[in-house]
A and B are shown apart, each in its own frame.
Chain A
Amino acid sequence: MKFKAFLTQDGVNLLDKRFLPSLDKIGRTCHLYLTRDHAVFLHNLIGGDGVQSVAQFKKEVIFRDYRISSQNEDRIAFAIDVALLHRALRSAQAIQLQSQDDTAAIQIKLVKKLPAGSRNPAPFLTFETKGLRSAVVQDVPISKPFSRADVAQLQDALDASQDLPQTLVQVPDLSQLQNLVDRLKNVGELLMLSITQYGDLHLQVSTSLITVGSEFRKLRVLGVQAAAPSGDQNLTAPTRTEMAIQRGEALSVQVSLKHLAKSLQCLLAKPDCAFYGISPQGGCLTVIFQFFIPGTRLTDKSISFHCRLPVLDTGSS
């Protein structure tokens, strides 16, 4: 099992400024899954009941001189502490800056070493930064690489997580949503989230003392859509949502506000737009983030990032 590659400058910036801060907020430990073509950071896909997140990069986005080999179709997966990874990356970057030399590149590779004071070799992801005058090596401890069965399980979970909801609505202003969700956290713990095929997104927190809700209407819809019934603008948001559910033109799920707030930490990765959808049987709430190719409005297909929030109760069933 071998892996080594150089980090590109774009890759370093992308990870350091955007993705690692965001992934760290979702969960301290994540799985890093490397294949011949992709590097994928995953949270809670196996053996976790929190927010699942999948950040997938084409290898060229982050790496150059990418070499990977394993007896399991060149696939390697292991668990890694996001904060440690971020620290190593930042200090490697600092050394690179100090050397003031473009040739100072950061190489990462998988190694097995004897940790100080131990007799058993342990696996590390090692960062090697060579400047003109100095070379610095940093070892980030990782879990034992996954067995063939574990990798297969991870791949299955990854495939399953790609299922798209039938209807997706685009939330135009994520920071507004984040602000709302942060404040709703003080009111209650559970949130009812409904999405209609007309492009309405309705959030509601309800306790025995208070009901607070917010409705975003006329959002852009992807997938199955329907025309809004005429005359419904005079109804209250809860009534409108209820009627849409009865007509089979909306789905509603209950999620934890804590999970929703966590998924909104993906904003740190600076996505250009976000879509919300509920999977057909109300199994989960999916949030898909899109990134544009810099300077354009075209989706950058080499990066994909999405979250799935566990559903606590299917409101519509």
Chain B
Amino acid sequence: MAGGGAEALDLVCHLDSVQGMVDALSSVRWKRHQDAVIELSEHGIVLIVEEAGCLQAKVYLKRELFLVYEYASEGRPRFGLSLGLFVDCLNTFSTPGHSSVIEIRYPGPDMQLLLKSMDFPDVCTYAEIRTRIPDTISWDYHFEHTGNVPVSFTVRSAVLKEAIDDLEWPCSAVQIRIQPDPPSVTFRAEGHGDLQIDFEYYSTNDLLVAFQCDQLLSYRYKYKFLRAATSNLPSNVLKDNRGSKMTVGRGGMLKIQHLVSVLRAGAQHPFSDHMHHQPSRIAYIEFFVKPEEEDEPPINDS
């Protein structure tokens, strides 16, 4: 490749699962035009998206996901780009049923993010994505636990997605109530009609797979943010029967964590020979959702 030796670059990495990266990034793509900030470090790549100071999502792509990860920067380079374009662009590199290897480099001569396919000598796909100076993150999503015991529960991702989908029709904010005795979680929406979904730890422990709570907590969250945090999960998360962990922090800040497989095409099955790759072939997705203001009336707040 002409222009610029590798020593001048902050990052050169090779990835053999473009589709996995597309899946991971798509899970935080809740609208067509969305700005994202990418942060590079020796540990991997983090992509951050935010909405209205109330919702933040992060995708962690650890360096172990990459075949090659050469990081040579003193600081932690950050740049902004359009998430939609990045995903659409990555999609042009993915061939169905074929695991393509791509090289990602940063920065290009004009601070671009550079991508190049590495599979065949005579077929080459390349891309240059313009980056911009990132906006400062408008709100610090510093997450603190409420007490000594973190209040959290883990529910099957597919079940969580279905529950949130169902909560759409009352058209209101969703109250999430978590109580230690009896150990249960309730999702409730009151608007045009009421809908309540209960997960009781003892009776539905195949759905609610883990539960930890020492105090009753109840907060309300905007429906569109909960939906943004669950509706774009790739199908493999649902198929692999993975769990999503929800933790309620100080002030009602809700953290939702998903795990997305970043497997090579052809090694999709978790019990295949590539089992030993499994722990490192996961992208971590985190959403932080701020609760509704408490002084708002409890219903008809839309």
Contact = CB atoms under 8 A, between A and B. Distances in A.
Interface of A: 176, 179-180, 183-184, 186-187, 208-218, 234-237, 239
Contacts of B7: none
A237 B124 CA distance: 8
Given A218-B122, A235-B2, A187 B92 contact: yes
8 contacts: A213-B127, A214-B92, A215-B123, A215-B124, A218-B122, A235-B2, A236-B1, A236-B3
Contact of B130 (A180, A209, A218, A234): A209
Contacts of A211: 127-128
A188 to B, nearest CB: 10
A213 B129 contact: no
B96 interface: yes
B89 interface: yes
A23 B187 CA distance: 52
Contacts of B2: 234-236, 239
B196 interface: no
Contact of B92 (A212, A237, A239): A212
Interface of B: 1-3, 82, 85, 88-89, 91-92, 95-96, 121-130
A268 to B, nearest CB: 18
Contacts of A186: 88, 91
A176 B91 CA distance: 13
B125 A212 contact: yes
A184 B90 CA distance: 10
B124 A214 contact: yes
A103 to B, nearest CB: 45
A217 B124 CA distance: 8
Given A187-B85, A218-B122, A235-B2, A210 B92 contact: no
B95 A176 contact: yes
By secondary structure, the A interface counts as mixed
A46 B139 CA distance: 60
A89 to B, nearest CB: 32
Nearest to B90: A183
Contacts of A183: 88, 91-92
Contacts of B121: 217
A213 B96 contact: no
A176 to B, nearest CB: 7
Nearest to B115: A212
A216 B96 CA distance: 18
B124 A210 contact: no
Nearest to B123: A216
A239 B82 CA distance: 26
Nearest to A208: B130
Contacts of A187: 85, 88-89, 92
Contacts of A216: 122-123
Contacts of B130: 208-210
A209 B79 CA distance: 14
A210 B129 contact: yes
Given A187-B89, A187-B92, A217 B125 contact: no
A217 B91 contact: no
A18 B155 CA distance: 49
